Structure 1
Amino acid sequence: MTTGGSDDSRLTKNQRREAAREKAKQLREEQRKKDIRNRVILIGSLSVVVIAIIVGITLVITSTLKPAGPGPLNMASDGIQIGQDFKAVPTPALAAGEDPVPTVNDPASGVIDIRMYVDYLCPFCGQFEATNNEQIGELVQSGAATVEIHPLTILDRSSLGTKYSTRAGNAAACVANYSPDQFWAFNGLLFSNQPAESTEGLDNDTLKDLVSQAGATATDDIDACIDDKTFWSWLEDATSRALKGPLPNSDEAAVTGTPTVLVNGQKYSGALDDADAFSSFVVQVAGEAYSTATPTPTPTPAG
């Protein structure tokens, strides 16, 4: 007994040929549908890849061509100058894309001009600060010197992706903008609480706490300025200008490392951890300025 199916042996030769053609037609149709589905899947996958590439390129172009940001108040030179009693010298904010305006110092005034280019993650900057903060502070407080501080963002790569140099520099710029007379105190706190390289650095909440410890006013505005990254773009531009040079009021071509410390335009190249060496350099440079600025008395003709 035969069970199930039809017996092809009962079909004629023409019927078997027609059945084979129909079967082949069905197979071709199924293959055609399968090919269409595969093409759709392939095109969809390629579209996703192309879109991802376009987005990536757009992000790169956007980050590269991002517009310059405005600078903070009191940092028109790309730095903030601190004078007697730690009062900041007021200056207008740089407009977006505007060139900095170098601070004008008169050597004949007898006031020593100290200028420092620093990165708040730089351990050598921290070493110089720990060694010389007190004596520089005494000179500034008494009016014998001014100090101009330029935050830079060279070491962002050393903070595990958190861009600590930029975050700390931005916080300093926020203080300069909203509470400039507390900048010196905040600058000191950034260094006395300086994190080590190859760490994430201080988080933003800790930076805000240091702002309060410095006695800053307008802390709500400063906190928002820190969170909003208000001066990140300006910091990037200021760092680029310092690294490209030339440094104003100096023979130095550019910043080649931090700290770069200039006294009346002359670069200090002594030991960073030797307070006496730096003090001697300041006295020497100040003496040169005095002797140059003081005219030699004209002899009185004999009567």
Structure 2
Amino acid sequence: MRVFVAGATGAIGRPLVAQLMQAGYDVFGMTRSQERAQAVGDQGATPIVLNIFEAEAVDQILKRLRPDVVIEELTSLPQTYTRQAMQAAAATDARTRQQGGRYLQNAAAAAGVRRYIIQSCGFWYAPGDGLASEETPLAFVGPPAIATGTRLYANLEQRVLAADTLEGIALRYGFFYGPGTWYAPDGNMAQQVRQQQFPIVGDGAGVWSWIHVDDAAAATVAAVERGAPGIYTIVDDTPMALRDWLPAYAHWLGAPPPLSVSAEAVQDADTVYYATRLRGAANVKAKQALAWQPRSLAWLTPRSMATTKK
């Protein structure tokens, strides 16, 4: 089976290409630069250097390759996670996902692709009691970045799931951690935690759902052939409130404990929302339909938990 991966050198793209190759698929990894294409080739996949905004070129390459499955992992995110960096990257990231993704999907449909898998978001469910499921409404009402991001992902999902000729699957990933992510030990968020720049805001009751990039890749590989068209939430088994996971994460990094600040002292409404209102999600559907099992959260060692509960 031939699988085309758009965004093959991103945080999830790298392990995804590796696992697809291990599973025996014929993999084509799309990237924007010749330099990154070398990394795709080193994994044994066929590198494709392509500008996603050149619709005709995208159409031609899909018609030439005739993949059975296309996986859209298109993003344009900064290495540094700050409010300013995210705001600066927002327009390009949205254009990459919306316009670039539309060109890719149109080309896939024209090339006779059978299944189309898209990256979506598993942590912007509407606030409420208990864990969210795929049927839970998304957080369309909220502070600026949350509401804008929710509308973006909803539109992306609708584009894929409404396609007449494609088996559309939207994978709602949780917060990524692992190699190449902001939360890796050498990532930017880890650096901020070491410098006590990531505090517990307010009551810290916002529940975060995590997923290791290797497990996200494994779920995506499973979705190549398993699962009916639709939405699947790809998170681990341990959603945790910020007030619980952040001290454990800091301890795991060997960092000092996080500071605590009041919600009133924080000027950014999105930051307060993440800290106090975020809703965790359940992975029951994905585990059953995809025959998939994520690992335990890395920093939930007995030693870390014992330390944070003192």
**Shorter-chain TM-score: what band?**
under 0.3
More strand by share: 2
More helix by share: 1
Instruction: Name the larger-Rg structure.
Output: 1
TM-score (normalizing by structure 1):
0.23
TM-score (normalizing by structure 2):
0.23
